[in-house]
Amino acid sequence: MESDSVKIDLTFSDEDPAEVAALLGEAGATSVRRVEQSGLGIVEEVVIAIMLINAVAGLISKLARLWKGGVIISRSGSTIVTQKDSNLPRGTIVIAKADGEITLNMPSENDLASQLQGLLPSRS
Q: Across the chain, what does the average pLDDT equal?
A: 82
Using an 8 Å Cβ cutoff, are 84 and 46 in contact? Answer: no
> What's the total number of domains in the chain?
1
Global confidence as pTM? 0.78
Q: Report the CATH number that the domain containing residue 61 is assigned in CATH.
A: 3.30.70
Q: In this structure, is residue 62 part of a structural domain?
A: yes
Structural domain that includes position 80: 5-117
So what's the pLDDT on residue 93?
95
Return the closest-CA partner of residue 30 out of 64, 73, 61, 1. 1
Q: pLDDT, tens digit, for every residue of 39-94?
A: 555 667 788 888 888 888 888 888 888 888 899 999 887 788 889 898 999 999 99
Determine the longest span between alpha carbons in the chain, in angstroms.
43
